[in-house]
Amino acid sequence: MTLSSYVTVGRTGLRVSPLCLGTMTFGPSPTWGGAEEATSHQIMDTFFDAGGNFIDTANGYGGGASEEIIGSYLAANPGRRDRLVIATKFSGNLHPGDPNAGGGGRKAIIQQLEGSLRRLGTDYIDLYWQHNFDRHTPIEEVMATLDDQVRLGKVRYIGLSSNPGWAVATAATMAEFRGWAPVAALQVEYSLLRRTIEGELVPAARHFDIGVMPWSPLAMGVLTGKYTRDDLNPESGRAAFASRYVDENAFDTLDLMAEIAADHDTTVANVALAWVRQRPGVTSTLIGARTLDQLNANLTSVDVTLDDAAMARLTEQTTPILNYPAEFLNTGAVVYQQGGTTINGVTPPEV
């Protein structure tokens, strides 16, 4: 596989590269140690020249700085805009004290979209994400507003990020029956150390033919191998965020990944990225970079294909405990229903 081995997003004709350039690290960030504008432009140049065509940002990244940096890049490279798939998000409140400046209400979405278009220096967004579920706004208001923006030509496709499974199913069904723009993709946290989306979100996405786009496939850097049993704090910026991934199971997983990496002549990080990329339903995986070296290292992951044995070992090692009823439906219900037979490749577990 190469970066230019494009895939379609869910049940759409939108073609994207198998890796998506995430830009949360573009611009000043005391937490993430963000890349300066010149470095960010170099990162974009390298990614696009390698065949990548998909870039992801959000109105809230750096208080709008990430979008502005992408906008300055597009202004300096005007011929590239229509060849790129640019995704951004709404939900982030950039105006403290104003309750209508964030979330998913109609007023908020329109205001946030206009701000993103202005910062990006473009008149349309290819994929517009709800950054996270808004408990205060009816789903039909969110979906109707997004459909309006598609019809106006300001948005091409819509997606949901960090939404519960029931909300995804509701939004997808509502859009289908009302003739609104469909949910094209889900953006979800997914890695060898975070697999609970397999309980509800992945099945919902596969049922509705929605593309799955994982973020944090390296678990905040833990799956690069830089965190060890002897050094739990290799850098100050992300350590607090990474700490929730770090436990003995993570180190056992890293030991196995190191073995598989040696067998495949690659790095631990590439094993993590390849595993996510090869999982059922995954369309394009987000990678982030603060430096060109980080980007180039991540790009080599598209050359890595894990064999069936390696995939099985990693999958078994990191099998998650899923919320009810997922565990029961995968075990007891299969035994109860199938009478010891195999149906559609599903074999009852031994009890």
What are the catalytic residues? 61
Helix (H) or strand (E) holding 179: none
Between CA 10 and CA 160 the distance in angstroms is 13
Between CA 277 and CA 192 the distance in angstroms is 11
Which of 295, 303, 287, 296 lies closest to 21 in space, CA to CA?
287
- 82, with CB counted inside 10 A (0-12, 13-18, 19+), is exposed
User: 180: which residues sit within 8 A by CB, 6+ positions away?
Assistant: 143, 144, 146, 147, 174
- In the chain, the N- to C-terminal Cα span, in Å, equals 40
Between CA 324 and CA 170 the distance in angstroms is 19
> Is-contact 146 128, C-beta < 8 A?
yes
Residue in the block written with tokens 């509705």:
208
Task: Tell me how many degrees the CA angle 129-132-136 measures, rounded to the nearest 5.
Answer: 115
Q: What is the CB neighbour count within 10 angstroms for residue 346?
A: 12
> Is-contact 91 134, C-beta < 8 A?
yes
Between CA 19 and CA 292 the distance in angstroms is 16
**Strands 85-90 and 19-22, sheet pairing:** unpaired
Give the 3-state secondary structure of residue 105.
coil
**Strands 285-288 and 211-215, sheet pairing:** unpaired
Give the start-end residues of each E strand in the chain.
7-8, 15-16, 19-22, 54-56, 85-90, 125-130, 155-161, 183-189, 211-215, 285-288
Q: What is the CB neighbour count within 10 angstroms for residue 210?
A: 27
